[in-house]
Structure 1
């Protein structure tokens, strides 16, 4: 079980970097109850093109652009299903906690969905780390 960060009861934050971003195919604003956009942010990582969506591996020298949203447990459960998270970390994505610094300087403990390492073999790196810009090319 993942440790829960300290925050308002029932509220957690998520960093989204792919199709869940504003304007994306799975825009997080389509979920209910409506997630609240908190800030833009970047995290250290490498973004991979998996075809219809990206996957991110955390760490390294690269930067990945995204957005921070305040969500509740119902939205988190829906995101877990969408990202095919498994309790034993064998799913398509692995849910992690990461301290994320927003573009305005505030810091948030965020859920981040990191792609399972087995899914990126032979996949192209998205230069610039911005899925929205990449998918509009």
Structure 2
């Protein structure tokens, strides 16, 4: 899979599903990024962690993402925000993987921590105001 990873380094795309989406509190981390479009992933499930969500690669009925084109500097900032550790990805809060989207391969941050007791979102999107039951 070297080709997609190489291509994404040249024109990085990032798929976001939580507080980085347009209109939400951390979207300012994407200032200067180009919005590419919205998509739905059926092989990702979101977990409501309270102040933000975490994604896991698990089947769903389609969770909503937004895709942005970012430069290396913005990507490095997102890595800091998401506590992604390039040398030891499993030790950070999130791992970053290349994942297919309707717009081509994009970086997707996957949650590394325990999700026991968290509400599951298998369809639609995460909202900071939603009240969900634990499933």
- TM-score normalized by structure 2? 0.82
Aligned-residue offset at 1:8: 8.0
The match for 2:110 is 114
- Is the CA contact (8 Å cut-off) linking 1:14 and 1:71 kept in structure 2? yes
CA contact (8 A) 1:5 1:109 kept: no
The residue aligned with 2:133 is none
Per-residue Cα deviation, 1:102-124 (whole angstroms, up to 9, x for no partner)? xxxxx3110000111x3312211
TM-score after normalising by structure 1: 0.81
Paired residues of 2:60 and 2:122 also in contact (CA < 8 A): no
Query: 1:64 Cα shift?
Result: 1.3
> Please, what is the CA RMSD of the aligned residues?
2.1
Consecutive unaligned residues of structure 1, counting only runs of 5 or more, are: 102-106
**Residues 22, 33 of structure 1: alpha-carbon distance in 2 compared, 3 angstrom cutoff:** closer
Higher strand share: 1
1:8-27 → structure 2 map (5 Å cutoff):
9=10, 11-27=11-27
Cα distance, 1:33 vs. partner? 5.9
The runs of at least 4 aligned residues of structure 1 exceeding 4 Å deviation read: none
Contact 2:8 2:106 in 1 (8 A): no
Instruction: For residue 79 of structure 1, give the secondary structure of its aligned residue in structure 2.
Output: helix
Residue 104 of structure 1 is matched in structure 2 by none
Q: Secondary structure at the match of 1:6?
A: helix
Q: Provide the rounded CA distance (Å) in 1 between the counterparts of 2:9 and 2:111.
A: 28
Q: Determine helix, strand or coil for the equivalent of 1:121.
A: coil
